[in-house]
């Protein structure tokens, strides 16, 4: 192995009294930060080191202007050059607390001596005489300034003649605590250029890990184009990030590896909290990041749970000020607020006695016992919890959701029920009916007769002779929400869980002349159970009192099914869960200097951390999802079934998804190359413009770095990344024939566009409207707690239903504790943090330094601003009845930019909440 030796520099002065805080005059060849007794450093062989892989971003500000003028240095041949390296560090809560530690005095001495960070400049070229790596230029950086939480350190280094371009900077943190380094800027080259080194990464203390960190400059290279002087560093860095697959991971580590979802259950705590491992032949599932925790005592296949879940250090957001808003708030809700709710609402089965009691959540609130720390809730979740004037208790007071604010009775209306399949929280499930009669594919020996009771006669009666069923199907007028075959195998299992129930369901809609959907029928089915045969019934909008209330109850069940499917499959599985393998593989196989890594990196921000938090408190055994959603303890297992039966990477692209569901057909003459089956489909209308904008930006980017099509197939890092996504991250589907093959730039463009769409557009469309649409839970109940009265009309429930149908509906809805828990969580999940990074809003420094990429990004940003204007215009067009109307919530979920808070708009780069 070639060794990289630091080049020694003699000190220009010898006074031990020289202050490390006084800068030397420009042009001095001294190592600025050091007095003489620390200035001469022994030569060392190169050691292994870490690299920056996180948050290589800068905002559109003066930083961008500086970055556009950067180079990788000056290949000076005859003269030495004295340069200044400025290290920018973000001070964090941990750094402040470390001032109270036992090692704090030692770190103070280190700072006084001007030895906070040891920097080594690495040449991008090998020595032409020896063919070996050139000696590094080494010097200490000392603190020169602090403005609020931003601290700057400087070092003056002399680069000898013939050193060549700077390819990387090695950093050793001399403190006893880690530091978050934002960037290193090297200035002072004769031609006025500078070298930008984006870091945005935690740098460990040398006392915790002897390996130095390595940060590459912001110039991107394909593997075949890597400068000779940093080739070895590029390869070794990736090896370090892969780890060896052994041992339990520590919070300070940066190792990316795979494991199954074997940590959702807690069998050592209670037998009833045991859960199957997701991932493998029995329960196919994507992989998550390996933590290496010990196995449970009762189940050797399951991993022990812990109070915090490992994610690679740069994936964590918990300690950065401003970057913690949404995550810290969510943790506060999960770990502090919800236990207080359980104390207040003692009876977990207690429902709401009247609809006015639901309204009181928004105008009177729920009184909570005040926590020991006074003002705790007001400081963390002021939107949710208010202080009561007498100071005795806190008040959980929900903001009025927009859907309730605009039309208090919209949730009750059939037209809104239908409209939300196209412009609501889950626009991904509605599909065209292409086969008739409707028929189950499940085994009739187990689940009963396969034929649906939604017959031709019933449908033609409901559409009042407007056309025949055959004409409706030929004219693409019938649509369906079909949760029959997915839910039926779980109906009897779920019914064994106290406090919930389940049916298989089908909901049929008819497309009217004005482009809106009208519900035609709902079919609810229960498979045979014990000695009882299959039960099924069809409910339709009717004009008699009993039929009307049965229809409302049937809609409540369907809404619970749709809400569960939305949360478990459309949201969790298809965005959060399926994206994690892309992130792990990218960090293991794509160098930080790879242009594709730098393209994808903003779209991976915080996803692993939020997924770890979900495993800790949301999707775990006994967590929010299991206790508040209809499938109960089978909820996440159900998402595994959906992954097995339905998930395909090639169908995650928006156009392919629309075509698969029959919501669009290919048409080269139409805008976007597609003709929508329902012209006024707000999610698709806006989504396709966003898709095209992303694809154009990705196309410009990829074509710049891969001018020769053969470069895609010969890019060993790129091919290793995509192979690992398929064979490791999605190992249970590795042999499927539909996986794209990366042979051409077009293949790569489509694959990257799909990933970026999922992390940005798809996630925004199904996440940030959660409180707006589900904050008033009768609109989207998460659970149906009671059976339909007609399933067993001889019991007392049917008599109660006839006497007081409103009470039957309230009994079907979530309990008080379920509703308030979910509302509190959805409020946080719908919130944009103040530091949110929106798609097309922030320029990466590696893009800014390249004029071609910068121009492409500006076009991308311009296209997104045009989309904002198009959406505004559409939301004033009264002809678009699925997005405009009296009391209708305008469709803005795919509007690219937003202010912070619960806004119902804004498309962040990544799945960060």
Active site residues: 571, 576, 763, 767, 913
* Exposure on the CB side of residue 400, measured as CA atoms within 13 A: 12
Record the tokens describing residue 470, joined without a space: 């055959």
Record the tokens describing residue 812, joined without a space: 């079907």
Three-state secondary-structure class, residue 508: strand
Roughly what angle, to the nearest 10 degrees, separates helices 578-589 and 716-724?
150
CA separation for the pair 716, 720 (Å, rounded): 6
Record the tokens describing residue 79, joined without a space: 């003269």
Q: What does each C-alpha distance from 381 to 57, 837, 912 come to in angstroms?
A: 29, 21, 18
Record the tokens describing residue 144, joined without a space: 């020169």
Record the tokens describing residue 68, joined without a space: 């556009």
Nearest-CA neighbor of 160 among 218, 121, 114?
121
Handedness of CA 255, 261, 265, 267 (dihedral sign): negative
For every residue of 675-700, DSSP letters joined together read EESSS--HHHHHHHHHHHHHHHHHHH
Long-range CB contacts (within 8 A, 24+) of 486-490: 486/565, 486/638, 486/641, 486/642, 486/645, 487/561, 487/631, 487/638, 488/440, 488/442, 488/447, 488/525, 488/527, 489/442, 489/447, 489/641, 490/631, 490/634, 490/638
* Exposure on the CB side of residue 857, measured as CA atoms within 13 A: 20
User: Residues 25, 30, 31, CA angle at the centre, nearest 5°?
Assistant: 115
CA separation for the pair 505, 788 (Å, rounded): 13
**Block residue for tokens 């050059």:** 81
Residue 298 · residue 314 · CB < 8 Å: no
Q: How distant is the alpha carbon of residue 430 from its chain centre?
A: 24
Residue 439 · residue 450 · CB < 8 Å: yes
Q: What does each C-alpha distance from 185 to 92, 120, 674 come to in angstroms?
A: 21, 13, 47
Residue 118 · residue 138 · CB < 8 Å: yes
CA separation for the pair 218, 92 (Å, rounded): 25
Handedness of CA 186, 602, 53, 609 (dihedral sign): positive
Bridging pattern class, strands 212-216 and 49-51:
parallel
CA separation for the pair 332, 831 (Å, rounded): 14
Q: What does each C-alpha distance from 28 to 76, 156, 350, 504, 725 come to in angstroms?
A: 18, 8, 77, 78, 51
Determine the length of the chain.
913
| Preceding amide of 437 cis, omega within 30 | yes
């Amino acid at each position: 192995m070639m060794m990289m030796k630091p080049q020694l520099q003699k000190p220009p002065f010898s006074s031990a009294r020289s202050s490390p805080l006084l800068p030397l005059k420009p042009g001095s060849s001294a190592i600025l930060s050091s007095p003489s007794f620390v200035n001469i450093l022994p030569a060392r062989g190169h050691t292994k080191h870490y690299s920056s892989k996180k948050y290589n971003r800068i905002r559109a500000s003066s930083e961008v202007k500086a970055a556009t003028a950067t180079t990788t240095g000056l290949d000076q041949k005859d003269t030495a050059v004295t340069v200044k390296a400025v290290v920018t560090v973000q001070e964090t809560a941990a750094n402040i607390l470390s001032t109270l530690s036992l090692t704090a005095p030692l770190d103070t001495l280190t700072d006084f001596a001007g030895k906070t960070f040891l920097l080594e400049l690495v040449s991008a070229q090998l020595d032409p005489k020896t063919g070996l790596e050139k000696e590094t230029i080494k010097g200490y950086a000392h603190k020169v300034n602090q403005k609020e939480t931003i601290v700057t350190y400087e070092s003056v280094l002399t680069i000898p003649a013939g050193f060549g371009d700077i390819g990387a900077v090695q950093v050793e943190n001399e403190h006893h605590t880690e530091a978050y380094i934002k960037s290193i800027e090297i200035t002072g080259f004769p031609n006025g250029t500078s070298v930008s080194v984006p870091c945005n990464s935690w740098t460990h203390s040398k006392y915790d890990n002897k390996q130095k960190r390595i940060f590459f400059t912001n110039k991107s290279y394909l593997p075949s184009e890597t400068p000779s002087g940093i080739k070895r560093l590029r390869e070794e860095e990736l090896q370090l990030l892969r780890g060896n697959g052994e041992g339990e991971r520590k919070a300070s580590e940066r190792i990316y590896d795979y494991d199954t979802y074997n940590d959702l259950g807690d069998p050592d705590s209670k037998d009833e909290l045991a859960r199957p491992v997701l991932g493998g032949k029995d329960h196919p599932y994507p992989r998550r990041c390996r933590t290496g925790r010990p196995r449970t005592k009762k189940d050797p296949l399951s991993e022990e749970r812990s109070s915090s879940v490992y994610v690679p250090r740069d994936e964590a957001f918990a300690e950065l000020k401003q970057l913690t808003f949404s995550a810290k708030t969510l943790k506060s809700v999960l770990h502090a607020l919800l236990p207080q709710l359980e104390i207040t609402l003692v009876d977990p089965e207690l429902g709401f006695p009247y609809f006015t009691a639901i309204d009181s959540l928004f105008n009177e609130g729920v009184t909570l016992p005040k926590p020991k720390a006074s003002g705790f809730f007001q400081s963390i979740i002021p939107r949710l919890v208010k202080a009561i004037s007498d100071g005795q208790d806190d008040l959980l007071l929900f903001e009025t959701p927009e859907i309730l604010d605009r039309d208090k009775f919209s949730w009750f209306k059939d037209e809104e029920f239908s409209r939300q399949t196209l412009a609501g929280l889950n626009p991904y499930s509605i599909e065209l009916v292409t086969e008739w009669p409707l028929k189950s594919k499940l085994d009739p020996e187990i689940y009963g007769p396969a034929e649906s009771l939604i017959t031709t006669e019933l449908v033609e009666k409901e559409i009042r002779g407007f056309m025949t069923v055959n004409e409706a199907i030929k004219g693409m007028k019938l649509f369906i929400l079909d949760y029959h075959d997915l839910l039926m195998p779980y109906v009897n299992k779920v019914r064994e869980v106290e406090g919930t129930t389940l049916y298989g369901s089908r909901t049929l809609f008819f497309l009217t002349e004005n482009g809106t959907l009208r519900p035609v029928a709902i079919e609810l089915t229960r498979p045979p159970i014990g000695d009882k045969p299959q039960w099924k019934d069809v409910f339709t909008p009717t004009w008699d009192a009993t039929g009307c209330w049965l229809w409302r109850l049937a809609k409540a069940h369907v809404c619970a099914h749709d809400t569960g499917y939305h949360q478990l499959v459309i949201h969790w599985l298809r965005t959060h869960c399926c994206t994690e393998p892309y992130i792990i593989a990218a960090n293991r196989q794509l160098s930080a200097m790879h242009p594709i890594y730098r393209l994808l990196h903003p779209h991976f921000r915080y996803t692993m951390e939020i997924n770890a938090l979900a495993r800790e408190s949301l999707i775990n055994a006994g967590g929010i999802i299991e206790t508040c959603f209809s499938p109960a303890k089978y909820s996440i297992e159900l998402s595994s079934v959906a992954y097995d039966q339905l998930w395909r990477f090639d169908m995650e692209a928006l156009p392919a998804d629309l075509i698969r569901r029959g919501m669009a057909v290919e048409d080269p003459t139409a805008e976007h190359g597609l003709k929508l089956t329902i012209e006024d489909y707000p999610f698709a209308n806006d989504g396709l413009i966003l898709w095209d904008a992303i694809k154009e930006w990705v196309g410009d980017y990829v074509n710049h770095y891969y001018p020769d099509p053969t470069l895609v197939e010969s890019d060993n890092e790129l091919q290793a990344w995509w192979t690992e996504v398929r064979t490791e991250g999605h190992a249970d589907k590795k042999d499927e024939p539909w996986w794209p093959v990366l042979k051409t730039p077009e293949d790569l463009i489509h694959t990257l566009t799909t990933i970026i769409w999922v992390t940005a557009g798809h996630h925004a469309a199904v996440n940030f409207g959660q409180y707006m649409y589900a904050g008033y839970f009768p609109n989207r109940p998460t659970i149906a707690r009671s059976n339909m009265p007609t399933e067993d009309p001889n019991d007392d429930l049917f008599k109660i239903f006839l006497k007081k149908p409103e009470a039957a509906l309230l009994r079907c809805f979530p309990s008080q504790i379920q509703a308030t828990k979910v509302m509190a969580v959805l409020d946080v999940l719908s919130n944009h943090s103040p530091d949110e990074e929106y798609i097309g809003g922030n320029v990466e420094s590696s893009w800014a330094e390249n004029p071609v990429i910068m121009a492409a990004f500006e076009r991308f940003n311009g296209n997104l601003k045009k989309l904002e204007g198009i959406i505004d215009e559409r939301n004033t067009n009264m002809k678009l009845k699925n997005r405009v109307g009296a009391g209708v919530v305008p469709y803005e979920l795919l509007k690219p930019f937003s202010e912070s808070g619960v806004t119902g708009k804004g498309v962040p780069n990544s799945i960060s909440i």
